[in-house]
Amino acid sequence: MSKNFNQERLLQVLVAPQISEKATYIADRNEQVVFIVTPDATKPEVKAAVELLFKVQVKSVQMTNLKGKVKRSGRTVGRRSDTRKAFVCLKPGQEINFAEGGAA
In sequence order, the β-bridge partners of residue 63 are: 86
Tell me the per-residue pLDDT of 44-59, one tens digit each, with 9 for 90 and over.
999 999 998 888 899 9
CA count, 13 A, side-chain hemisphere, 52: 20
Query: How far is the C-alpha of 35 from the C-alpha of 85, rounded, in Å?
Result: 6
pLDDT the model gives residue 59: 93
The three-class DSSP label of residue 16 is strand
Give the pLDDT mean for 60-87. Answer: 95
Domains of the chain (ranges plus CATH)?
7-90 (3.30.70.330)
Q: What is the pTM of this model?
A: 0.80
Average pLDDT score over the chain: 87
Is there a contact between 94 and 47 (Cβ–Cβ < 8 Å)?
no
